[in-house]
Amino acid sequence: MIFMYIRCHRRLARVLCETGQVETERAADVLRGAGHVAVLTGAGISTDSGIPDFRGPQGVWTKNPAAERTSTLSHYLHEPEVRRLAWQQRVASPAWTAKPNPGHAALVDLERQGRLVALVTQNIDELHQRAGSDPALVVELHGTMRRVVCWSCGADGPMEPVLDRVRAGDPDPHCLACGGILKSATISFGQGLDPLTIERAEEAAVKCDVFLAVGSSLGVYPAAGLVPLAREAGAGIVIVNGEPTPFDPIASAVVRGSISEVLPLLVAPA
């Protein structure tokens, strides 16, 4: 019985491996035939750089649901203790020392091939730009954690000097110009996205040959809505993610696995 179990287990592992290889080859074929590729990236592309996602099995909010309050605008603006926690989280974020991984580099290669029309990202870490992606092609749906903005007067600037104030003992730094509440230049729950940014993302989705969604749960809108939008416009859909997504059934190919390992294979020229 033991040997039979081992044989069955090995057979199943081989089938799963072969299935993954077939899907990877199918996804690569779809991408090779595309002259205009739009990409959507989510937190999953940055996990191999040491930045945890939010909703995955080891996600920040999965492990500590209370931490989600710091990303909700109403709590942040009206509860000083939430702001203090948010500033401590910002200071301790692994994103400050994170480096781009081969997944980020693969999208730079896709750009250098002249086939990338837009890199739409839900991430706020700027690792795409640090990897070498043209900032003009990067569409940051949720803003950036590397800048800060005053909620009262609109003054903005780099985040690092404000973090230095927190490290020096100010638990809830306010705007030096007007005394207003400072917040990272990111989009919180309850805060509207920039209409022009959404327009750029939607335009890329309807004009591409292939829409490549990488490391996104595709459960947050309007980002998730780009997938069916691209599909309705006639684009092929390739999804690369560690977990199933709601749009897997309409995809031309779905690939599971480490993004930093899989993505370079998918975008490599023939």
Annotated domain spans of the chain: 29-51+100-142+193-270, 53-92+145-186
Task: Give CATH for domain 53-92+145-186.
Answer: 3.30.1600.10
Is 123 within 8 Å of 93 (Cβ atoms)? no
Is 255 within 8 Å of 24 (Cβ atoms)? yes
The pLDDT of residue 244: 94
24 phi and psi angles, rounded to 5 deg: -65, -45
Tens digits of pLDDT across the chain (270 residues): 333 333 433 433 343 344 468 888 999 999 998 999 999 999 999 999 999 876 555 555 556 666 678 999 999 999 999 999 999 999 999 999 999 999 999 999 999 999 999 999 999 999 999 999 999 999 999 999 999 999 999 999 999 999 999 999 999 999 999 999 999 999 999 999 999 999 999 999 999 999 999 999 999 999 999 999 999 999 999 999 999 999 999 999 999 989 999 999 999 886
Q: Is the dihedral of CA 47, 49, 50, 52 positive or negative?
A: negative
The pLDDT of residue 250: 96
What are the tokens at 198? 């959404």
Distances (CA, A) of 201 to 143, 188, 206, 256: 13, 19, 9, 25
Distances (CA, A) of 156 to 80, 144, 152, 177, 183: 21, 12, 11, 10, 9
Q: How far is CA 232 from the centre of its chain?
A: 23
Residues 129 and 104: their CA atoms lie apart, in Å, by: 9
Q: How far is CA 112 from the centre of its chain?
A: 21
The pLDDT of residue 54: 62
The pLDDT of residue 21: 80
The 10 Å Cβ neighbour count of residue 36 is 15
Q: Based on the residue annotation, tell me whether 128 is a catalytic residue of this protein.
A: no
Task: Give CATH for domain 29-51+100-142+193-270.
Answer: 3.40.50.1220
Residues 233 and 28: their CA atoms lie apart, in Å, by: 21
The pLDDT of residue 57: 55
Q: Which residues of 144-154 are buried (b: 16+ CB within 10 A; e: fewer)?
A: bbbbbbbeeee
Residues 32 and 37: their CA atoms lie apart, in Å, by: 10
Catalytic option among 75, 104, 142, 174: 142
The pLDDT of residue 64: 65
Q: For residues 217, 19, 45 and 104, what is the CA-based torsion angle, rounded to 10 degrees? A: -140
SS3 191: coil
Model confidence, pTM: 0.87
The pLDDT of residue 165: 98
